[in-house]
Chains A and B, each alone.
Chain A
């Protein structure tokens, strides 16, 4: 402890007095952050639970209603649609946004030329503000002069109605989010791939392992922790999808792109029902906590393994 490092020189401070002083100083340093965490993180966490059990119009005193808000939300047919959409969206986003960056990173790792350019280009969309990227794609999806139907027309394919049809709207959102997030995953995987010891590939080759077997038996086991952590992070991030449906479709057509967070937003700010909105928030939290807990566990393993 730092108490043992009391300055020599026979000052009259007692051991006890020094400890008190050290603690006061420490909490003085902590005070700013403590206040911010208390007001904007810890208190809202508790308040979310409390709100979900109340009817509250913020004028009259709040009324405790038990689980009624949860029942209201669960009885809403859109609630179920929103969860199904969110899960389908997450699975599709994983298919594109999880597998593709790993494959891209594998290819980039093999190339000896244009590496700087390729890394730069793949990360460029990540640097755009997400709202900008989403609004850019809103224009591309325009069935008339939009870029995508022009490109389809160029190769002789019929145009799609993209955001305007309930069958293609959700996948259109997945495309935007993949485009603007691909760079992050790619660069993280690329860093992980570069830490795979080359001798392992040589050994596998001597044992007669071909290209795909080397990937399967060397690359993937060597990067499995990063792969796992990224999987969990991506699930957590995509389950909170909001900005894409908010800006592109407004949840439509026919609720085909209504997501959980967007429905929560609507409950609170359109129907003015913060109780039901908070109940949705609590339910989403319970689902995401499973993944968060797993993430914290595995990312700790990862840092330990590296150090």
Chain B
């Protein structure tokens, strides 16, 4: 194994030292199921390295290789794309499929739409839900608990269950008789009605010490001023989590935009690509999939730590 191979040749003492060679590798600061003692035996080390190599290879094949296949597949010519058996590297790299996907499918328009929906929804969510959570947590009006309970009760109702009545509501808004189909409002406003966002924000605001708020009140600050100058500056972590959740949820959503934005000029990137799935050659389609993945992957690379922290700390909602 690689461990024994890298050992300096002139070290007979190490051999007599037996299996307990002092290597910092396994002196883990956190004890797990396998005991560090066993890991440090000769067989322990062998099994460990074997498992490690196996896991790395399997994970790369299962999770990374499909993406590699997608990116390089779209770089092949139509003829090479269909060749059997397939080639592992494109013999001549062409970006023709990518330009074709961009131009024929109008991906730029779809991306711009999705961008508009996601960040508009974020703006409304931050404005309305932050204000609401602040009111429920710090201003504590009469019936505040009833309102909170009513908002949290929506968590019990999975979104697809109210899909049809919600669609009809957007199509013909009660009292106002407005048709919001094919307008950004059909995405922006329903995104605000998210009990989980309110829950996350309120729980964070609850942890802000009362003394801080009271000190500002004594100074004569208005409720809005306290929200802006006291509450928001110390709420950056939760605002970050909520922002990432909101933007990625809107960006990834499929069913809702499929229903409320049927106009091809208005579609999101996911729905737009899906709507053309029968009309495009597979190379063009694959290139479109790559282009559609780029924004989310870039966001992931940029905010990897926040996304993973938000996933495990604040949210259990998948």
Contacts and interface: CB of A to CB of B under 8 A. Distances in A.
Q: Do A and B bind each other?
A: yes
B100 to A, nearest CB: 16
B25 A111 contact: no
A129 B114 CA distance: 12
Given A26-B141, A47-B168, A39 B173 contact: yes
A33 B131 contact: yes
A145 interface: yes
A7 B220 contact: yes
A148 B259 CA distance: 32
A205 interface: yes
Contacts of B134: 29
Interface stretch (A72-80, A88-96, A102-110): A102-110
**Chain A contact surface mostly:** helix
A25 B223 contact: yes
Given A130-B254, A145-B84, A123 B33 contact: no
A16 interface: no
Given A27-B141, A112-B28, A45 B162 contact: yes
Contacts of B172: 58
Interface in B59-90: 59-60, 62-64, 66-67, 69-70, 73, 81-86
A190 B30 CA distance: 13
A229 interface: yes
B161 A285 contact: yes
A290 to B, nearest CB: 10
Contact of B154 (A41, A142, A299): A41
B160 A136 contact: no
A70 interface: no
Contacts, number: 313
B18 interface: no
Contacts of B60: 121
B273 interface: yes
Interface string A258-283: 00010011001100001001100110
A153 B85 CA distance: 9
Contact of A129 (B35, B70, B252): B252
A29 B51 contact: no
Interface in A16-56: 22-23, 25-27, 29-30, 32-34, 36-37, 39-45, 47-48, 51
A87 to B, nearest CB: 16
B273 A131 contact: yes
B31 A201 contact: yes
B112 interface: no
A128 B84 CA distance: 28
Contacts of B5: none
B119 interface: no
A292 B136 contact: no
B274 to A, nearest CB: 5
B190 A36 contact: yes
Contact of B311 (A8, A40, A129, A184): A184
Contacts of B189: 36, 39-40
Interface in B217-260: 217-218, 220, 223, 227, 248, 251-252, 254-255, 259
B169 A40 contact: yes
Contacts of A302: 316
A285 B162 CA distance: 9
B43 interface: no
Interface stretch (B6-14, B91-99, B101-109, B290-298): B290-298
Nearest to B35: A205
A194 interface: yes
Given A39-B174, A274-B168, A188 B274 contact: no
B192 interface: yes
A128 B162 contact: no
Nearest to B169: A44
Contacts of B181: none
Interface string A192-223: 01100011011001000001001100110000
Given A44-B162, A240-B160, 13 more contacts: A26-B223, A36-B193, A41-B162, A47-B168, A48-B162, A112-B25, A127-B296, A127-B297, A150-B84, A153-B85, A181-B318, A201-B31, A285-B158
* Closest CB pairs A-B (n = 8): A198-B31, A32-B128, A26-B141, A33-B132, A131-B270, A26-B139, A29-B135, A44-B165
28 contacts: A8-B218, A29-B227, A33-B192, A36-B128, A39-B189, A40-B189, A44-B168, A45-B154, A47-B168, A51-B165, A110-B51, A112-B26, A118-B59, A124-B67, A125-B66, A127-B248, A127-B297, A129-B252, A132-B270, A132-B289, A139-B285, A140-B66, A150-B86, A184-B311, A191-B313, A240-B161, A264-B164, A281-B161
